[in-house]
Amino acid sequence: MRILIADDHPVVRQGLKQILTAEPDFSVVGEAKDGNEALQLARTLEWDVAVLDYAMPGRNGIDLLKEIKREFPARPVLILSMYPEELHATRVLKAGGAGFLNKETAGDELTAAIRKVAHGGRYVSPSLAEKIAVDLGHDSSRPLHESLSDREYRVLWLLASGRPINDIAAELFLSPSTISTYRARVLKKLGLATNADLVQYAIKHRIIE
C-alpha cells in the first residue's frame, strides 16, 4: 500500500514513517513539509492513501483536503491533528476526509485506520463514534459555530488563538481586508461584538484550550 504523508514537523514525519514502514505491506512513497508540497506530490506520485496534518503552512486543513479530493475523488485521505477530534472530525468527514485521528493516539490507531479507509471505510476513534451516536439521538439545538463555513471556522479559530489579521491573511493567502470581512461575518453569526467576546466563546465551546 503506497502512502503519502505530510506534516510540517520533521520529527512527526519521521515518527509516522517508522510506524508505517514497520508494516510489511506499507510503503511511504512521499513526504511533504507543507500543504503546497503535499498537493504537488499528490499530483506527481502514485499513492493509495494520504495521511495529512490538519494545520500546515500553505494550503492546510479543509482547503487542502478539498483540493486533493477534487482531483483524486476515489483516493482516501486520513487527517491527523493535535486538536480535539470532537471539534474538527465532523468537518473533515463532511469535506470528504476518510477519517480523523488525534496525534496522541496515532501510534496505536494509525495502521488500523489506514487499512480501514483503504478498503472504503471511514475511521474515527471509538470514543468519537459513541459521541456522534449520542448526539444524533438528541434533539437539542446545535451550537452557533456549526453554522459557520469551513473558512469562517478557520478564521474563528485563528482569531481566538490570538493571531493578528495580517498573519491570518498571509497563512490563508488572502488580503487583510478579506480576513476582516470574514471576522465580521463570524461575529455576526455568533452574536458577538468584539475579539474578546470571540475568545470567550471559543474557550466556552472548547474550540481553543
Task: For 84-104, write each residue's pLDDT tens digit.
Answer: 666 778 888 888 999 998 888
C-alpha cell at 107: 501510534
C-alpha cell at 40: 504537488
Q: What is the pLDDT of residues 143-155, one digit of tens each?
A: 788 888 888 888 9
Pick the CATH number of 144-204 from 3.90.1820.10, 3.30.1330.120, 1.10.10.10, 3.40.50.150: 1.10.10.10
pLDDT the model gives residue 38: 94
- Whether 14 contacts 26, CB under 8 Å: no
> How does DSSP classify residue 9?
-
Q: Assign 108 a pLDDT band (cuts: 50, 70, 90).
A: confident
- Whether 186 contacts 196, CB under 8 Å: no
**What is the residue extent of each domain of the chain?**
2-135, 144-204
C-alpha cell at 166: 495580517
pLDDT > 70: percent of the chain: 89
Place of cell 465551546: 205
Sign of CA dihedral 130, 136, 139, 141: positive
pLDDT > 90: percent of the chain: 53
Q: Which CATH superfamily is domain 2-135 in?
A: Response regulator (3.40.50.2300)
Asked whether the predicted pLDDT for residue 134 surpasses 60, the reply is no
User: Treating both helix axes as pointing N-terminal to C-terminal, what angle do 126-136 and 85-94 enclose, rounded to 10 degrees?
Assistant: 80
